[in-house]
């Protein structure tokens, strides 16, 4: 049965960030992820996690308020990218993060793709113990973001041909980009190394949208063992009150395992 992580940037916002890992553990999650852990020192995160597995972090995005969304595909920002990747690698190593999502940034065109591929190749060589993931993001939520197509991401991953580089499958973004998240999964499941789930068409508790979460769990067991499933969604009410989906999937896994 897959392991389930809580995205602490989206969930348990009722309490301060460093209190959220404990809440996630008490609510039945197996681990956590956080988009940008960099506002808190690593030592504080170590105490807050208290042994709770960290499934994923993102590379630092830069000045979010002024439009930065990472630097990996932004020509002329190679040094900023390298600094951000090394900072993410330091956090990942210290906190035991399983994956680092490389933020591509706002860019377009062939020069941006060349920059992206070269930066990813540098990252894989410079951080040989780091596993990386690429996530296409939809233009409504992330205007101008370079990586906005799963086929594009797959082509880049295949060209680089490194086992430490994979595809981050997010039901919300896959459905917004391509209409049918199930078809995206079928086309790219062999490349997927991290999964995020949310409800569709609203980005609330997971479920609906024609995508079967039990089938997803079965497919991960069969084709992507060890891949985390993370809840990255906006709770309709309080986080803890909306975790019926987690209880149902975990109880189903317990029955199958038994």
pLDDT at 254: 47
Give the Cβ contact number of residue 88 at 10 Å.
26
CB neighbour list of residue 79: distance below 8 Å, 6 or more residues apart: none
pLDDT at 257: 45
- Give the containing element (helix H, strand E) for 168: strand 165-170
pLDDT at 225: 86
pLDDT at 253: 62
* pTM for this prediction: 0.95
Alpha carbon 12 to its chain centroid, in Å, reads: 17
The parent domain of residue 206 ranges over 3-257
pLDDT digits (tens, 9 = 90+) for 147-201: 999 999 999 999 999 999 999 999 999 999 999 999 999 999 999 999 999 998 8
d(CA 200, CA 139) in angstroms, rounded, equals 16
pLDDT at 162: 98
Domain with residue 127: its CATH number is 3.20.20.150
Please answer whether residues 191 and 216 qualify as being in contact, where contact means their C-beta atoms are separated by less than 8 angstroms.
Answer: no
Residue from 139, 146, 138, 141 nearest 102 by CA? 146
Residues of the chain with pLDDT under 70: 253-258
By annotation, the residues acting in catalysis are 135, 232
d(CA 177, CA 110) in angstroms, rounded, equals 20
How many domains does the chain divide into?
A: 1
d(CA 201, CA 211) in angstroms, rounded, equals 11
pLDDT at 242: 96
CA distances from 141 to 67, 137, 138, 172 (A): 12, 7, 6, 10
């Amino acid at each position: 049965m897959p392991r389930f992580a809580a995205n602490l940037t989206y969930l348990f916002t009722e309490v301060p960030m460093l209190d959220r890992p404990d809440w996630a553990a008490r609510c039945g999650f197996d681990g956590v992820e956080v988009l940008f852990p960099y506002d808190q020192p690593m030592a504080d995160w170590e105490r807050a996690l208290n042994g709770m597995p960290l499934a994923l972090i993102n590379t630092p995005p830069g000045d979010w308020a002024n439009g930065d969304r990472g630097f990996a595909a932004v020509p002329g920002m190679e040094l900023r990218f390298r600094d951000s990747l090394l900072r993410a690698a330091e956090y990942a190593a210290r906190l035991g993060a399983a994956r680092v999502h490389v933020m591509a940034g706002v860019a377009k065109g062939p020069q941006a793709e060349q920059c992206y591929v070269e930066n990813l190749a540098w990252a894989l060589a410079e951080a040989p113990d780091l596993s990386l993931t690429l996530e296409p993001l939809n233009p409504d939520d992330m205007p101008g973001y370079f990586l906005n197509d799963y086929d594009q991401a797959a082509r880049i991953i295949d060209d680089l041909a490194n086992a430490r580089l994979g595809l981050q499958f997010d039901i919300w973004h896959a459905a917004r980009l391509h209409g049918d998240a199930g078809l995206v999964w079928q086309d790219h499941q062999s490349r997927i190394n991290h999964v995020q789930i949310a409800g569709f068409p609203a980005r609330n508790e997971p479920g609906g949208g024609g995508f079967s979460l039990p089938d997803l769990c079965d497919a991960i067991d069969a084709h992507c063992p060890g891949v985390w499933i993370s809840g990255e969604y906006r709770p309709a009410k309080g986080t803890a009150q909306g975790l019926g989906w987690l209880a149902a999937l975990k109880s189903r896994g317990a029955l199958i395992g038994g």
